[in-house]
Structure 1
Amino acid sequence: MFAQAIEDILQDQCTPAVVRAIEAGGSPLKLWQALQGAGFLELLASEDAGGAGLPLTDLFPILCSFGRYTVPVPVAQTIVARALLGSQFAMPSGMITLGAALRREAGGAIVCSFTPYGMLADFVLAQDGDALLLLHCAAAQREASGVHGSLTATLRWSDARVATHVPGAGPLLPTFAAALHAALLSGAMTRVFEMTLKHCNDRIQFGKTLGKFQAVQHQLSVMAEHVAAASMAAEAAFHTDAAAPSLLAAAMAKSRTSEAAVLVASIAHALHGAIGIAEEYDLQLLTRRLHEWRMAHGSEAHWNVLIGQRVLAADVSIVDFVRSV
């Protein structure tokens, strides 16, 4: 029910033209208000707190839709942030993104580096040990990443007193961030594969469609394998009755989707040729997101360290370890 309702809104309100306009500095308010007005920001909040109380298994396809449409506002992050803040906290009004790497400088300043949607967000929710810090972006200096069309930014607050300390739930933030970006990557990769398959079936070269060439078929099959494997890993992180994904499942999901993102993007552009990087063609909207979301909250290299540590610490064979996940 929720997945289809969000799909309908995104089809109407989050067109490629809207994505391009927001990336170019246009206002995101119309899109944001459409999502907020439909009540989708409270999907994970409990019913007692006025939310939908949606289980994680039902949240996964919704996050995938956000990835498919390359939604240029931090709606996925806000859904998670509002759930982490809980009903005991006065909920801020506006876009909340999740801080990827918080550090405190000697002079008391707080810096959140390479924060997804940092150019647009009204607030940043970041982990600070076992607690959370809620930071108002109006008081921050924003430094764009410099990447074309990117909404990622490094934010710096000169005075730590602007932060609101929220006890508890700190360790859950990186877990949720990894899982939600895995779902976003899954949705975007699926759309990239669909576009590439259609292009190869429609584009005629040397008297036949590209898809009739064996070398192209091989590349498409490799692409399909990685998209399927990555999507399964992402879905597994949400396949739980718990209120939050497990850290290991989230790590495996983010690692597998991040690893696949590079390969899927490269094959897509190889099979599309020059048209794939054209500003007017939608493929580059998706593949840029693949590279950006791969790096957000840790690439496969980051999460593979945690996975490797868990494997080494387990007193079982690798096969039994995989079965236990």
Structure 2
Amino acid sequence: MTESTSDLFERSLAQMCQDGRIRAVESGEDSAEAASLWADVDALGFTDALVADEHGGAGLSLAEAGPLFAAAGRAGLPHPFGETMVARALLAAAGQKADGGCIAVASALPEQGDAVACREVPGAMLAGHVLVQWRDAWLLMPCDQARVQPGSYRPRASASLQWESARQAVARWTTSGPSAMSYCNAVHAAAMSGAMERVLALSVTYANDRRQFGRAIGQFQAVQQDLAVMAEQAGSAAFAARMGCGCAGPEPDALLAAAAKLRASEAALRVANLAHAVFGAIGITEEHVLGVFTTRLHEWRAAAGTELACAERIGRAALQSGQTLSAFVQTSLAPFVAATAA
């Protein structure tokens, strides 16, 4: 994928995801608008970009798709765009057909019997299906047959879902390769990096426009310090996201994805808090778009691989490796394995 193609996608999203349209979709006020927005995005053709060439897709690697995930986060697209890309690639590889709709991705909670339950799935209420990793299988579960509990952060867009039986799946095949959590970690880290860039841009613009005591608040040293820390955190998250998606194929590396999500989540907390400090009370109003992005950042932090889950995943791998910490980082937490001396 060329840089000009990525720029084209970003410019198209910017035109489609106006602030008012995003808020209308997330508020649940207009289901037709939500469907219209997804149809516009899907028509661009990027949702099949991870599907292999032989199955009619573009055959992009995860590294090539990373900028698309970040662009969706930067634009504020309410739907699970990156997850849909992943789900369509997995469906095509398994010989299954996607219906062109939006698909969320999630891991099932441990449940007794045949029930399937997923906690806090971003964008689930805007999706037609959820691709669920359940025990040793992938299940494509229809959202309209689930018991729904509104999400904690976006109650009209996200949800916890439960199905009475795995037999409700419209498609099922044996799992192989990375877990749902690893896919979501890579996708969410990239989307979070894009959202943080947008939050930083909003904060810089506001600091330059808002005047107090006769000058822009961006000229005050305390505000400059906040903006500098935000830029540092957003930059480190963007680097981590590139690392988490730094794979030659469509599948993520579990440890790199966990490290990327952990760093992005830590950065998101600081960026969100500092942005609201710069904006003051106006930043928490429903009318201001800042809350759309900071709410999304907190939701992604709590979804799939949480900070604790990612840290535990990395810690267990380090202990089991039998290596020193330095050697473990070089061999397992770098996109390119460091060469060792003979």
Matched, 1:18 2:21: yes
Any conservation in 2 of the 1:133–1:165 contact (CA below 8 Å)?
Answer: yes
User: What residue is the counterpart of 1:121 in the other structure?
Assistant: 127
Matched, 1:203 2:204: no
Cα distance between partner residues in 1 of 2:163 and 2:135: 18
Structure-2 change in CA distance of 1:130 and 1:100 (3 Å): closer
User: What residue is the counterpart of 1:216 in the other structure?
Assistant: 223
User: What residue is the counterpart of 1:225 in the other structure?
Assistant: 232
Any conservation in 2 of the 1:118–1:142 contact (CA below 8 Å)?
Answer: no
User: Quick check: 149-158 or 76-85, which moved more?
Assistant: 149-158
Cα distance between partner residues in 2 of 1:47 and 1:290: 33
Q: What's the CA shift for 1:299?
A: 1.8
Q: What's the CA shift for 1:150?
A: 4.9
Matched, 1:81 2:87: yes
| Per-residue Cα deviation, 1:182-232 (whole angstroms, up to 9, x for no partner) | 001000001101111121122211222212222222222221111111111
Q: What's the CA shift for 1:243?
A: 2.8
- Paired residue type of 2:17: C
- Paired residue type of 1:97: A
Cα distance between partner residues in 2 of 1:46 and 1:160: 28
Secondary structure at 1:44's aligned position in 2?
A: coil
Cα distance between partner residues in 2 of 1:160 and 1:88: 18
RMSD: 1.7
Secondary structure at 1:99's aligned position in 2?
A: strand
Any conservation in 2 of the 1:129–1:170 contact (CA below 8 Å)?
Answer: no
Q: After TM superposition, what 4+ stretches of structure 1 lie above 6 angstroms from structure 2? A: none
| Per-residue Cα deviation, 1:84-110 (whole angstroms, up to 9, x for no partner) | 22244231312110124334344x322
| Per-residue Cα deviation, 1:257-287 (whole angstroms, up to 9, x for no partner) | 0111111100000011111112221111111
Any conservation in 2 of the 1:130–1:170 contact (CA below 8 Å)?
Answer: no
Any conservation in 2 of the 1:182–1:234 contact (CA below 8 Å)?
Answer: yes
Which segments of 5 or more consecutive residues in structure 2 lack a partner in the other structure?
334-342
Cα distance between partner residues in 2 of 1:286 and 1:272: 14
Which segments of 5 or more consecutive residues in structure 1 lack a partner in the other structure?
none
Cα distance between partner residues in 2 of 1:301 and 1:175: 14
Cα distance between partner residues in 1 of 2:20 and 2:177: 37
Cα distance between partner residues in 2 of 1:235 and 1:44: 16
- Paired residue type of 1:155: L
Any conservation in 2 of the 1:102–1:127 contact (CA below 8 Å)?
Answer: no
Aligned residues: 324
Structure-2 change in CA distance of 1:272 and 1:120 (3 Å): same
Cα distance between partner residues in 2 of 1:58 and 1:161: 36
Q: Give the TM-score of the pair, scaled to structure 2.
A: 0.89
Which of 124, 144, 148 matches 1:142? 148
Q: Give the TM-score of the pair, scaled to structure 1.
A: 0.94
Cα distance between partner residues in 2 of 1:245 and 1:208: 48
Matched, 1:183 2:190: yes
Secondary structure at 1:111's aligned position in 2?
A: strand
Structure-2 change in CA distance of 1:169 and 1:224 (3 Å): same
Any conservation in 2 of the 1:179–1:237 contact (CA below 8 Å)?
Answer: yes
Equivalent pairs: percent with the same residue? Answer: 39
